[in-house]
Amino acid sequence: MTRLTESDVHEYIRGICFKNGPPGLVGVEAEWLVTDPDAPDRPVPLDRVAALLDEAGPPPSGSAVTFEPGGQLELSSPPLPGPAAAHSAAAADLAHVEKPLTDAGLCLQGVGLDPRRPPRRQLTLPRYTAMERFFDRHGPSGRTMMCSTASLQVCLDIGADTADAARRWRRVHRLGPVLTAAFANSPLWRGRPTGWRSARWAVWAGIDAGRTRPVGGDDPAAAWAEYALSARLMTIRTPGGHWHGGAGMAFAEWMRRCRPRPPDHDDLAYHLSTLFPPVRPRGWLELRMIDALPAPWWPVPAAVASALVDDARAADAADQALDELHGDGAEPARRTWLAAARDAVADPALGRAARRCLEAAAAALPRMGAARLAEAVDAYRDRYTERGRCPADDATPGGDR
């Protein structure tokens, strides 16, 4: 077996994680908590949910249905040309999935952090056992992240070429706190207010920073490669089917030591799947900073993000708003991420940037063939952003329902 080198890591990441091509495809990955109104404090058995969905058959528009460790249901649309097509597919498949659950007395709850139930892992795959063991060394936030959080992830193309990829990479990183703030929807934990609009972000910030902090960087592929090389191993899979703890080694250290065996490309691909920054490159840009939202609002973040990245006029307007927020060309400071999760659009600077970005997105969507999504964005702006509010405010004392 050829020994994996750091040059191989850089080459793999440039060729696989940052594949260039004409942009325009959009995907939506919506996570939902499955709840039983008759037993709101207990988890719904995953076997029950899976059986209901198996009986219903595959979603008609081709979305993948998977589960997170605590039983959260994830619906991942296929990548489709533009936000309107992605929304249409995701909405049809959500309706298909939701019906058998509703008929059985179950609900899909769109919220970023389970507001009542404590974390309880239902998936017993070795990957999740190893992940739980890794995070348990650093406190309870890892189990909470795995079993109690839900997000609305938006997937956008890398870019037409290397220069375009760098521009889009920089823009989505600078946009991250604005999206966190505008769509914050996780203020409660175990039935009590947490003091955060996005307590989900606070949970993620409480686990291993080497795999959750933003990547950034002017050269996206080089920055992601260095991030991956520096991140600690979550586990090492052995030929006998056992999962080795990794002894806290960084991936680069494993390549130097080659113990308990040398890593290969499959190990690199697996390691990359255990890294969870707000923007993760996977051959596309996966935006991971947005809390899950209920109907009718869950389509709005994907519409906004795709408009601000794929429409030239909206992108220019977003860049101007982000320059004012962060400083010309600067990346978001940690305090900005913190303010986004704690105060959301009640923070004056973030609120101003969010209003300008959502206004630009609403204007762009009809140009992108998504006029109905523009109406949804405008309704969201009227209900929340223009009033300095986010969905989290609906669930906290004093919130305007």
| 244 has pLDDT over 90 | no
Question: CA distances (Å), 308 to each of 320, 329, 347, in order?
Answer: 12, 17, 21
Q: Crossing angle, helix 265-273 and helix 220-230, to 10 degrees?
A: 90
The pair of three-digit structure tokens given for residue 207, joined into one six-digit string: 């686990």
Q: Is residue 391 assigned to a domain?
A: no
**Global pTM?**
0.96
| 304 has pLDDT over 90 | yes
Instruction: Report the pLDDT averaged over residues 89-98.
Output: 98
What is the 3-state composition of the chain as percent helix, strand, coil, each rounded to the nearest 5? 50, 15, 35
Q: What is the pLDDT of residue 3?
A: 80
The pair of three-digit structure tokens given for residue 283, joined into one six-digit string: 């051959």
Instruction: Report the pLDDT averaged over residues 164-180.
Output: 97
Q: What is the mean pLDDT of the chain?
A: 95
- Res. 401 pLDDT band, cuts 50 70 90: very low
Give the percent of the chain with pLDDT over 90. Answer: 89
Residue 218, domain extent: 6-382
Q: Is residue 394 assigned to a domain?
A: no
| 399 has pLDDT over 60 | no
218 versus 1: the higher-pLDDT residue is 218
Instruction: Report the pLDDT averaged over residues 239-261.
Output: 83
- 226-233: long-range contacts (C-beta < 8 A, 24 or more apart)? 227/275, 227/277, 228/9, 228/13, 228/268, 228/271, 228/272, 228/275, 229/6, 229/9, 231/271, 231/274, 231/275, 232/208, 233/271
Q: Is residue 252 assigned to a domain?
A: yes
Give the model confidence (pLDDT) of 309-320 as tens digits.
999 999 999 999
Q: Is residue 350 assigned to a domain?
A: yes
Residue pair 243/189 in contact (Cβ under 8 Å)? The answer is no
Instruction: Report the pLDDT averaged over residues 22-32.
Output: 97
Q: What is the pLDDT of residue 238?
A: 77
| 243 has pLDDT over 90 | no
The pair of three-digit structure tokens given for residue 47, joined into one six-digit string: 């076997």
- Res. 400 pLDDT band, cuts 50 70 90: very low
| 398 has pLDDT over 60 | no
Report CA Rg, the chain: 21
| 1 has pLDDT over 60 | no
The CATH number covering residue 344 comes to 3.30.590.20
Residue whose pair of structure tokens reads 């906290």 in the numeric block: 396
Question: CA distances (Å), 396 to each of 38, 191, 193, 324, 352, in order?
Answer: 23, 11, 7, 30, 23
Give the model confidence (pLDDT) of 340-392 as tens digits.
999 999 999 999 999 999 999 999 999 999 999 999 999 999 999 999 999 99
Residue whose pair of structure tokens reads 């696989």 in the numeric block: 16
SS3 23: coil
Q: Is residue 305 assigned to a domain?
A: yes
**Count: domains in the chain:** 1
Burial 198-220, CB ≥16 within 10 A → b, else e: bbbbbbbbbbbeebbbbbbbeeb
Instruction: Report the pLDDT averaged over residues 198-210.
Output: 95
| 76 has pLDDT over 60 | yes
Q: Is residue 388 assigned to a domain?
A: no
- Res. 241 pLDDT band, cuts 50 70 90: low
